[in-house]
Amino acid sequence: MNQAKIGIDAGGTLIKIAYCQNGSINYRSFQSKSMEEAALWITQHFENPTICITGGKSEVLAEKLNTQPKIILEFDATAQGITYLASRQQQSIGNNFLFVNVGTGTSMHYVQNGRQERVGGSGIGGGTLLGLAFLMTGIQDYEQIVQNAAEGNRENVDLKVKDIFEGAIPPISGDLTASNFGKTEAIVSERPADEDILAAMIGFVGEVLVTISSQMAGQYDADTIVYVGSSFRSNPLLQEIIEMYAGMIGKKPVFLDRGEYSGAVGALLALG
């Protein structure tokens, strides 16, 4: 067993762990419903570690550990983690940026000179995707949802601008979505495949978040929008949709490797 410093982001869906060992940061995650398993793993792998926890389930997890951890505000931890990861990955985000944390829900924060301020959010996020996917297709497993969506075609479900301006040149990009799940004539005549429905769901989540965050970035004159959160875990389709839709409206999004661990990394950094 090795002594270590451990940062934990105990969220509504995942418990994300970042720990420093042998001079490098390592990562591990557990389902939030498996909190006892996460606590046991920490106990079995580390001897007298120093621990800092952030996230909505911080207090609950703290009670299950054999040591008294430090607890810090999730938003501050995430901002610090993003700045650290961006620097390590040579991603230029500047000192004036908006970060969008897409977890179970979505929280948006303006960061200026290292200080963050929560400026908005949305109930639309990864939890929306999980809930709607189950209600509409019966699929509960996140990985299966993402895999199936990658094989789907949104155009069998979503109404595009080019569909409305059929035979004419539209005044805006024809590839923009005119109405999510709005291709009602086709849907009513024949139910789309589950893969198409799931692809449309991810498109809906991504487009709504791009729209809200772009407006927020404009309001605060933020140079960059950084997207992080567990909803991007093994979900390249969501990232692709945000990149494509943001490009259509003239914004360049930034994604960080291991960005879903930003809160855990920030908690780790708080230990010094």
Confidence of residue 174 (pLDDT cuts 50, 70, 90): confident
pLDDT at 265 over 90: yes
- How confident is residue 3, by pLDDT bands cut at 50, 70 and 90? low
pLDDT band at 13 (very low <50, low <70, confident <90, very high): confident
226-262 residue pLDDT tens: 999 989 988 999 999 999 888 877 777 999 999 999 9
Mean pLDDT of 139-153: 95
- Signed CA dihedral, 36, 37, 43, 46: sign only: negative
Helical (H) or strand (E) element with 121:
strand 115-122
Instruction: Tell me the average pLDDT across 104-114.
Output: 93
Domains and their CATH numbers in the chain: 5-75+262-269 (3.30.420.40), 126-255 (3.30.420.40)
Identify the pLDDT of residue 2: 53
pLDDT at site 61: 93
- Which of the residues 36, 47, 59, 74 is marked catalytic? 74
Measured between alpha carbons, how far is 255 from 246 in angstroms, rounded to an integer?
Answer: 13
Is residue 74 annotated as a catalytic residue, yes or no?
yes
